[in-house]
Amino acid sequence: MKELVALFTAQLTEALQIGKNASLYACDKEFRNVVITGLGGSGIGGKIVAQLVANDIAIPIIVNNDYHLPHFVNENTLVIASSFSGNTEETLSALSIAKEKGAEIACITSGGKMLDIAINNNYNHIILPLEKSPRAMLSYSLTQQFFLLNHYNLIQNDFIVKIQNAIELLNSEIHNIKAEAKNISNSISNKTTVIYSEANFEGVAIRLRQQLNENAKVLCWHHVLPEMNHNELVGWAGGNEEKAVVVFRNKTDYSRTQTRMNIQKSVIYKYTSTYIECYSKGNSNIERALYFILLGDWVSVYLSELRNVDNIEVKVIDYLKSELAKNI
């Protein structure tokens, strides 16, 4: 996993080339909404992209992590199905429903049943490289979602330059990123991590939670501000030194939310002294989000080493899938 995380910017570069070279059919439909459907490492890119384009796209865009699709999905819906393996049963189920409802369908996958379905039904699709762990392929799937939204004339293509700028930024900052990640992993080792961010950056907070789950084999949770201030902040009365807080912050976060973050810090400090604030770098939200993603990925890898666990294996998920296969 360390080797895969180290390839992050190289993957982004390759992902841009894949998107530029994708052969996609024209579509003259007038869309009223977009649904991105996917699970786990294949689904989190949808959450992140949906938040990053929220101020640019003129129609609602939601993320679906289930077997089913919202009832409103119809012929005026663009459904983007993302499954690295192409065999994720929940996503295939949602894809079948999208077909029944007459939605415009586009797929992001490396193969499997989804690729067969896309080819047989003449759906737009972008093929990802093979042989890597799905959670290590976020750079690819995330980038292709931008390209698909642009292909359907829902966003401009300025994301390309922003991703290129992010690659330059991350390459120039990699030593600082890894040093910060090591410090964070040392601080949260043997503690339960609580991750906070502004609501508009929830996707990157979820990404860190998922990476800590899968790579470091630990439980943790996340929440967002301002919502967290209306419930979970009270729950910190039951907090203690066994908890560690990691806060993703941007200097561009809404001013009132930044004030809330400053106040909550003084509240939570009464219960734990492990309160880490991480500030992003970059001139666009795409750059800042990718900065946090890479930082979080390194934190998860370093923590896995401190815990002496295999950061690649996910045997419990393999077991779950094998048991599900017995009950089809």
Distance CA 130, CA 15 (A): 13
What's the confidence (pLDDT) of residue 9?
Answer: 97
* Cα distance between residue 171 and residue 188, in whole Å: 26
| 292 and 242 housed in the same domain | yes
On whether residue 9 sits in a domain, the answer given is: yes
pLDDT 10s digits, 40-88: 888 999 999 999 999 999 999 999 999 999 999 999 999 999 999 999 9
Q: What is the C-alpha separation between 306 and 124, in angstroms, rounded?
A: 43
Cα 141 off chain centre by: 9
Does 6 share its domain with 153? yes
| pLDDT given for residue 316 in this prediction | 81
322 domain-assigned = no
Report residue 7 as tokens. 């390839």
Same domain, 254 and 296: yes
- Note whether 52 and 102 are same-domain residues: yes
Q: Which segments of the chain are extended strands (E)?
A: 33-37, 61-64, 77-83, 104-109, 124-127, 192-198, 220-225, 243-249, 275-279
Q: What is the pLDDT of residue 38?
A: 96
Read off the pLDDT of residues 200-221 as tens digits, 9 standing for 90 and up. Answer: 999 999 999 999 999 999 999 9
The contacts found for 71-75 with CB under 8 angstroms, 24 or more apart, are 72/33, 73/33, 73/35, 73/97, 73/98, 73/101, 73/103, 74/101, 74/102, 74/103, 75/29, 75/101, 75/102, 75/103, 75/104
Residue 325 burial (CB count, 10 A): 9
Name the active-site residue from 162, 214, 222, 287: 214
Quick check: is 82 in a domain? yes
Average pLDDT on 32-46 reads 94
Does 57 share its domain with 133? yes
For residue 235, is pLDDT > 80? yes
227 is catalytic: no
Whether 120 and 181 map to the same domain: the answer is no
Residue 137, pLDDT score? 84
Whether 70 and 187 map to the same domain: the answer is no
As a whole number of angstroms, the distance between CA 78 and CA 89 comes to 20
Lowest mean pLDDT among 34-38, 138-142, 283-287, 324-328: 324-328
Residue numbers of the domain that contains 271:
174-307
Q: What is the CATH number of the domain that holds 31?
A: 3.40.50.10490
Q: Note if 230 is an active site residue.
A: yes
Check residue 131 and give its pLDDT: 64
Domain match, 17 and 150 both: yes
> Could you tell me if 53 and 136 lie in one domain?
yes
Which candidate, 151, 118, 114, places its Cα nearest to that of 39? Answer: 114
The one catalytic residue in 230, 251, 315, 326 is 230
Read off the pLDDT of residues 254-292 as tens digits, 9 standing for 90 and up.
999 999 999 999 999 999 999 999 999 999 999 999 999
Q: Is residue 163 part of a domain?
A: no
* Domain boundary pick from 129, 157, 185: 157
- Residue 226 domain flag: yes
Residues 83 and 182 in one domain: no
For residue 16, CA distances in Å to 89, 106, 166, 167, 204 come to 28, 18, 12, 11, 20
Q: If we measure between CA atoms, which residue out of 63, 11, 50 comes closest to residue 297?
A: 11
Looking at the fold, whether 7 and 152 belong to one and the same domain comes out as yes
| pLDDT, tens only, 313-327 | 777 877 878 888 887
Indicate if 50 and 128 belong to the same structural domain: yes
The percentage of the chain sitting over the pLDDT mark of 90, rounded to a whole number, equals: 89
Map residue 202 onto helix, strand or coil.
helix
Q: Is 321 in the active site?
A: yes
Q: Mean pLDDT across the chain, nearest whole number?
A: 95
Count of structural domains within the chain: 2
Residue 167 in any domain: the answer is no
Could you tell me the pTM of the whole model? 0.95
User: What pLDDT is recorded for position 301?
Assistant: 96
Q: Would residue 92 count as lying in a domain?
A: yes
